[in-house]
Every structure is written in structure tokens, then in C-alpha cells.
Amino acid sequence: MTADRPHDHGIGTDDSAPPGAETTTVAARPADGSGGPGGGILGRAHRALTLGIISVVSLVAFEASAVNTAMPVAARALDGIGLYAFGFSAFFTASLFAMALAGEWSDRRGPLGPLFTGIAAFGAGLLVAGAAGSMGMFIAGRGVQGVGGGLVVVSLYVVVGRAYPERLRPSIMASFSAAWVVPVIVGPLVAGTVTEHLGWRWVFLAIPALILLPLAVMLPALRALPRDRTGPPGGVRQVLGSRRCLLALAVAVGACLVQYAGQHPSWSALLPAAAGLALLAPTLVRLLPRGTFRAARGLPTVVLLRGLSAGALVAAESFIPLMLVTQRGLSATLAGLSLTGGGLTWALGSYVQSRPRLEPYRERLMGLGLVLLAVAIALVPLALVDGVPAAVVAAAWTVGGFGMGLNISSGGVLLLKLSRPEEAGSNSASLQMADALGNVTFVGVGGVLFVAFGGGSIATHASAAAGAAGQPAAFVAVFATMAVVALLGAGAACRLK
């Protein structure tokens, strides 16, 4: 879930990994946590739970990379190119609400309920999407997946807080990052091969079977978790009626209405557009720190830049495989592999920004990261020019990944530096909420632009040659807009101090 980051429960994060991966802001320790008494995260007391958690995170990471690869083929097969962006935004929108729901549910009732509900919903959503006979049903399945993903990721963080002593949390959180490396490399290759030889549906239908193993490994350890409840008591009605859940629900509904209106440009769409904006405007202001949308100096700008960078990246990344498949005739496998380098250089950028001698330049690193992201996104549409090799996309994305590693990781460090200890948890939650909101907003904007510039008319079953004569302007509009968003963020970086 690239972009799916959990509501924080007092565990600070420095966001030094690719989207969906989380790490703590505490200095790194050995992976086995052997630096302290009583065994590490792979010691007898924690081994089963650790392996189960790593398996679940790896599964989510594999699904995220696999879906990017299979989505263009699925959208064409279901005659749904015009609704392509909804396949992504449905996931992000649903996960935004689920994050808030999981936070309240875990505080009141413990993490096991939302964790198992989330795993079940995630698997059910995959099955619905894989069996979909129309793009509408496919989008509904992706929404169910999003609910499951949001519940799972937040619940896992609560499990970590309850099951591991403080000295081991840096190690288990570092394992979250490590769990993303192999899926980012292998996911596109496996998904592309399955899509080409067995069909895109099997990318979705096969993953639920993989859920059973981590569940079986974790179950005994999860049952042994302490059942104390530190939050306010309450049942389902109190959880769903909490302020944060209601605000998140309003944002999700508002985003859906605005995206629907954008995809159906007509006078009749004005009503849902107005209703969506009426829901979004007041709720977004309440969910994020005061001054975020006017780039107030310090913390609000950190949060704003997180939303701009994550949203621009995910929106551009969502359309890259579709462009390469429909405009350049690449296979789903090669199109997905074009994104792999970005995941690897993301980790490199995160490592570079962590060097002590660069600490005085933290604000500049955030701005530089956004400039590199803007350059990378601007280079992508060069692949639409005859004579330019499609490999330019892979090269550009390695630049963008490095920029994101500099930006996102530095933002996490700055957030905690600018937060009082008693505010670190709530401010971290705002940062993650901005991530999700950025994904929802800019993927939706990308979808609107794509349809407005004729992308919906790309032939669904066209040959590679016919696809190359499709609607390049639709892709240029998306990438140019996201490059501008990244540049605006780079300009706003001067407000970090």
C-alpha cells in the first residue's frame, strides 16, 4: 500500500522506506534485536509473532507491486480504461477511513478484532476484484481491499506496541522496511508472468491463499497478547461515532463525490461536485495541523510537503504501466519492472539522508528531494516520443525514488524535531493522514485529467501498433500536472524553518 500509512499509536516513525513501509525514529539496531537481555525479535519469545508480522507485511507489499503491473490489462479487459484511476483511488479512499476506524477500534477493544477483520476484508476484496465481470465490481473489490489494508497496517503497529518491549521496537520496525525489498523486486516479474500466461485475474485470486500461512504462524502469539484497554471503552457504535472516524468518513465520501463528478463532466455532475467539496473542505482542515494548507512555517509545512510528494508520486506511478502497455506496446511484466529501480534508490536516498554530516541541511534535503521527483515525473512522457527508448522511464524513476528517499525520511525526522514529546503521536498521525489524503486527491485529479484529455477513448483491445496511436495527450496532462505539484512542494520547502 504505497501510499497506505497507519494512524500512529505512540510509535514514532521516520518513514525511511518505500510507500507502505514504516520504521521508527530510534537508531537502528541489529535485526535480531540481540543487543538486549531476554532475546531479540527472533528469540523464542517473539519468533512466531515476528515471522507472522513480516509475512503479512511482505504479502501487502507484494500485492501493491503486483497490482500496479496487472492493472492496465485488467482495465482493458473490463472495458474500463476511462475508470482506470478509480481502481487505485478506491483503495486509498477506503483505507483512509479504515485507518481512523482501526485506531479507535484498537484503542477501545484491542488490536485483534481489527487485525483479523482487516485480513478477512483484504482477502475478500482480492476475490471480488479477481472475479469481477465489470469495472464497477472491480472498483468495489479494490475498495474492500482498501478497508482491509487500512485495518491491518494500523493493527500491526498496535500489536508491536503491546507485544514487544521498547528496546526491541526499533528492530521489529526495521523488519517492516526489509519486508518490502524482495516484493518490490519480485512482484512485477511474478505478476507480469502470471498475467501473460494465466490471465490478470489470477494475480488477484491467488494471493488470498497466501494469507493462511502468516495467520497460522501468528495466531498462538496473538492470543497471548495482553488484553488491557488503555483507551475509552465502547462498542461498535461508539467506535464508528468517534470524531476522527466521522471526519475520515466525510473525507472519503467527499473524495468519491468529487472524483465521480470529474469523471462525468456534465451539468448534472455539479451537484455531487458541490456536495463533495462541502464535505472535504471543513473536514480536511480539522484532520491536519492548523496552517497546513497555507504552508505555515515549521510543522504544518512538513505535513503539507508529505501530502504533495506522496500524492504526486503515486498519481504518476499509477499511470506509468498503463502508458507503457497502451502506448509503447510493452508487456505487463516489462511495464511493471520499470518501477523497480525507484524502490531500490528510495532506500539509498533514505540511507544518504541519515548521514550525521547532512543533519544541518535537513530542510534543503526535503526541497532537493522534491526537485528530483519533479524532474523524474517530467522525464516520463519522453517515452511517448518516437525514437526515445522506453527505458527512459526506468531511468527517470530511479531518480525519483532517490528524491523520495531524501524527502520522506527527512520529513519524518523534522516532524519529531518540531514536536513536543506529548504531541509526537498525534503529529505522526497527521503526517500519515496527509500521505493518504495526497494519494486520494492526486490520483483522483490524475483520473479527471486523463479522461478530460481523451484517455478514456484508448482502445481496450487494441494491438500494440494501434495503442501507440492512442491519446498521448492524456498521459502528458497527468505527468505534467504532477511534476508541477512536486515543484510547488519544492518551493514551499523554504517555509520549513
pLDDT score of 26 more than 90: no
pLDDT tens figures, 355-406: 778 878 888 999 999 999 999 999 999 999 888 898 999 999 999 989 988 8
* pLDDT given at position 10: 33
pLDDT score of 210 more than 70: yes
Q: Which is nearest to 486 in space by CA: 397, 350, 375, 343?
A: 375
- Give the count of beta carbons closer than 10 Å to the beta carbon of residue 296: 15
Encode 181-192: b = buried (16+ Cβ within 10 Å), e = exposed.
bebbebbbbbbb
pLDDT score of 14 more than 50: no
* pLDDT given at position 141: 92
pLDDT score of 9 more than 50: no
Tell me the β-bridge partners of 325: none
Binned at pLDDT 50, 70 and 90, residue 435 comes out as confident
pLDDT score of 464 more than 60: no
Higher pLDDT: 108 or 400? It is 400
Place of cell 525514529: 25
**How far is the C-alpha of 213 from the C-alpha of 163, rounded, in Å?**
20
Task: Give the three-class secondary structure for 43.
Answer: coil
pTM attached to this predicted model: 0.67
Selection from 269-273, 364-368, 416-420, 471-475 with the highest mean pLDDT: 364-368
**How far is the C-alpha of 106 from the C-alpha of 113, rounded, in Å?**
8
Selection from 122-126, 163-167, 230-234, 278-282 with the highest mean pLDDT: 122-126
Binned at pLDDT 50, 70 and 90, residue 469 comes out as very low
* pLDDT given at position 218: 72
Binned at pLDDT 50, 70 and 90, residue 441 comes out as confident
Higher pLDDT: 229 or 314? It is 314
Place of cell 467506535: 239
